[in-house]
A and B are shown apart, each in its own frame.
With several copies, the nearest count.
Chain A
């Protein structure tokens, strides 16, 4: 399915947000997710079904001052 992830178009074979995170092999406890502007708690990742063209943000803590 076509998703806009971190601003770029991706075609990935996933159905839930949880699968997106594992698709990219992200450390679940280090990543924060947003779907169409709404933050999704980790506990709801599996329950969050994705639809064609949804905008997903995957963010994390990086070095900063």
Chain B
């Protein structure tokens, strides 16, 4: 009855919650939210140092003393080439050889480019990166990314930051059925319900940022999402009842109390 742990690229993770580090009200709330989430994997972006105020964005300094698996992303890249370059810079930090491939052309939707994402995944996996591509929920593409060497595949529930939830549970279920690597639902989730749904569909984990960071109370929301992941996973393992069209009584009909 004990839960099997999530393992990516040989690393066993104690939590199925991947937490983003952007858009929090302030570093203190962010750190409290991270603690409340009990997340072990944190995502980051790579940006130029602001030479005017170099330490302003230096998020890592706030996290010193805690130990995490760092998952830098390639956000800002519009092509495989740009993503590969950002990945190499991230690795050169010496902090992590994990990389979230994120390549978007359209700034309105930030939806991932399937062709460039596949290219970058192929190249980076060959270079020895632990590659977790952010992708659309196209089941064939997700399979292709796995074949290209992705350590885990991260289909989006909905566009980044929209909070629309899992727009296509059918595709997500198909992706999970076919997968031989962990499936992490990334982007678009908004509520504990969305998270529970993802996990009950059999997802191996969930990556969130905005729904926690921009909640009225980010720390409490981090805790909410932690429980939602736990709830969804337990339910998935416990085996839910089938849906039926008609009712079933909780007690027998015989022996009713009636004259």
Contact = CB atoms under 8 A, between A and B. Distances in A.
State yes or no: do A and B touch (Cβ within 8 Å): yes
Interface of A: 5-8, 10, 24-27, 29-34, 37, 39, 41-42, 55, 57-65
B61 A64 contact: no
B3 interface: no
Contacts of A29: 94
**Residue from A26, A29, A37, A59 whose CB has the most chain B CB atoms within 10 Å:** A59
Interface residues of B, number: 43
Contacts of A39: 88-89, 92
B93 A65 contact: no
Interface stretch (B21-29, B114-122, B166-174): B21-29
6 contacts: A6-B51, A27-B54, A57-B89, A62-B251, A63-B30, A63-B250
**Residue from A6, A37, A60, A65 whose CB has the most chain B CB atoms within 10 Å:** A65
B135 interface: no
B93 A32 contact: yes
B92 A62 contact: no
A57 B93 CA distance: 13
A39 B84 CA distance: 12
Contacts of A59: 46-49, 89, 257
A63 B59 contact: yes
Contact of B43 (A26, A37, A64): A64
* Interface pairs A-B: 7 shortest CB-CB: A64-B45, A65-B250, A65-B209, A65-B20, A63-B22, A64-B251, A63-B21
Interface string B69-100: 01011010000000000001110111100000
Contacts of B109: none
Nearest to A64: B45
Interface in B100-153: none
B210 interface: yes
Nearest to A7: B48
A27 B58 contact: yes
Given A61-B70, A63-B59, A65-B43, 16 more contacts: A6-B51, A6-B255, A26-B49, A27-B54, A27-B55, A32-B46, A39-B92, A59-B48, A60-B93, A61-B60, A62-B58, A63-B44, A64-B21, A64-B44, A64-B75, A65-B209
A34 B259 CA distance: 11
A48 to B, nearest CB: 13
B92 A58 contact: no
B92 to A, nearest CB: 5
Contact of A63 (B23, B51, B257, B259): B23
Contacts of B207: 65
B160 interface: yes
Given A61-B46, A63-B59, A25 B54 contact: yes
A52 B259 CA distance: 18
